[in-house]
Structure 1
């Protein structure tokens, strides 16, 4: 018997019990309490059904190793070095100084043709931290803080609107740049990005909840062409545009560039959430990944985004090994190795930077 036939059968059913009793029960059934219980049962059924059946997986959730081809076409020409190209990062608090230094070291290892610039907030960072962060080759460039225009911004993102100052780097003669958050490491050269004919590009975001692989992008890695005109326009609209405040500049940029942003492959922003969501895809990505983004575990921080002293970094990294069931042990070891190389190469400079704290 089909589902609808069953419903029809019950609809036509004539009860055998006393009509008066039936009417009384019917009246009790429609009390406010009964309605609440009924709604609760319905919602629970829906929840259980969704849990059992699940959301239809995307092709990436159902990842399979099918494509054997390299990302770039074999005849793509990489442009020679140019002072008009830059890799840019940011320093908003002292806690990220060692991360920036380590990132700079990994950029140098892949022989990028681009210059390295670090934007920083003078009122939020110490001379010592700026010294440490720029030791591996970043040219420090102070910028004015852009305050959040709305309440409700996540406490870790209160300075993130200052990232919009990237567009002001046009004044330095920069024609195209790749921005990387401090919690990234570079594994392979990505100079091909500087040849993109677009104004803005980013990598789609990844979440651990039902959102999964998103059409929205993550602002931890961006390609853009600086323009002071665009900066002026964005700043004029961050306070009036309608967007969720919690994610600060990332939310705004998704609304500002959403319809036209070029979506780049995940290899340019290897968000750790990918590994947590589908290990098979991460394993394939790691074979040719350009940038790993330490979103879920930050080996250089302790507590609630607190700074780790240089002589305690190794111990701090080890304390992170069990996070998320230990699935990021390889990536944490890779960051640790990059840090050891950085400290070995720039340790004397770090010591000199430390002297600034007491001067």
Structure 2
């Protein structure tokens, strides 16, 4: 009997992570990644890649998703593959103009060394009254996506550049389809709950900046990478525009310089724009499409918004578990046709 064939639609961080988890949990499967865009042309390539999680209403396992992701990436950061994968530890501060209601966020015991900032540390930020210091992980996104692709190819996963307009188009080629299309799911499956949150960021050369700085409202941040520093940002709900806006660039730069004045000396400023695939809650579920008595099991894993890198491994593991259930359905259907509704 031929190995079950699984198609993963989407080659951003969620699609590639999900494909990797499927190969680990269902090694007998034949996995193919289909996408009209691969790195460096995905939304994930624009992301800052900082592991600071976002809250997903209705998702009771947000912390578990984050913890599994942190554990997975922390192991890589302590391995010889850390540099190639673009993963490294970075320490810094999250600062607030007013003390937040939640002084101890749900993820405080997952990151390393979480503590309130001292008065001496806060002197660096005279406009802020409260802050949190901790160490977390950062993925430099393009190298991390390439590292994932390399891992997948080493396990025999096929990667094809292909625009998928309808998941049903894959029913004659694959036994299970996994939808990791990100913002593309808005059109692919007609999800009206999914909307873009436009993000514009700057990538600059400022090698003296070693610590991250994040304003507590999440709109202004400075994230040092291995080669470049990411300055952000914007959260423009409902905007589909991918063209950089010069006035936004100036605003981002000025806001970041107010937090770290030395950035006035930054050079080689590059502007990037991406559309975060946002919805009230991540869509992570299994369904069965059916036409004319033919069934196609589908697993959805999209809608991570700004937090995709922070929960990539956790949601990928859950999606892979659902794929395993679909494969069981497929095998039962093969051996006991007519006994399944």
Structure 1 and Structure 2 fold alike (TM over 0.5): no
**Of Structure 1 and Structure 2, which has the larger fraction of its residues in helix?**
1
TM-score, length-normalised on structure 2?
Answer: 0.27
Larger RCO (CA under 8 A, 6+ residues apart)? 2
TM-score, length-normalised on structure 1?
Answer: 0.26
**Of Structure 1 and Structure 2, which has the larger fraction of its residues in strand?**
2
